[in-house]
Structure 1
Amino acid sequence: MLYRKNITRPESLVRIVAGLALIAVSLAWLGVTPIGLVLAASGAVGIVTGVFGYCPACAMVGRKPLK
């Protein structure tokens, strides 16, 4: 494995659910506009970090990996 997980399992689930909600809401309310696509992409990033259990931003600020 090339990375060490740095977010907990409950936080991963919250990131996945919030990412799905952000994608659904941004595309439903804003449609396929530039801002809607940017918000949907940020929701996709949240889903990916939740699935893998690793957040690069958390690693940059010094969050310690889980043991």
Structure 2
Amino acid sequence: MLRVVLGLMALDFTAMGWGSPMAMGAGMVGAMLSLTGLVGFCPMCALLGRKLHKGP
């Protein structure tokens, strides 16, 4: 949930200041955060061998 919220906040920052390189970088990071939060799979975490606990 936190990953999706942070991703949407970064995308909002991008929409407010699209011209700067920092805003474009925030947009890319925000898109990745939102997608991995919604899907529940992070390719970078899988490469590093991190396992997510799904609960009891």
Give your verdict on TM over 0.5.
yes
TM-score, normalising length from structure 2? 0.76
Which amino acid letter does the alignment assign opposite residue 37 of structure 1? M
What is the alpha-carbon distance in structure 1 between the residues aligned to residue 44 and residue 51 of structure 2?
A: 12
Unpaired runs of 5+ in structure 1?
A: 1-12
CA RMSD of aligned residues (A): 1.7
Q: Deviations along 1:4-31, whole A, 9 cap, x unmatched?
A: xxxxxxxxx1110000011112432xx1
1:21 aligned partner? 9
TM-score, normalising length from structure 1? 0.65
**Count of aligned residue pairs for this structure pair:** 53
1:64 aligned partner? 51
What is the alpha-carbon distance in structure 2 between the residues aligned to residue 36 and residue 65 of structure 1?
A: 30
Q: Residue 27 of structure 1 contacts residue 37 of structure 1 at CA under 8 Å; is this kept in 2?
A: no
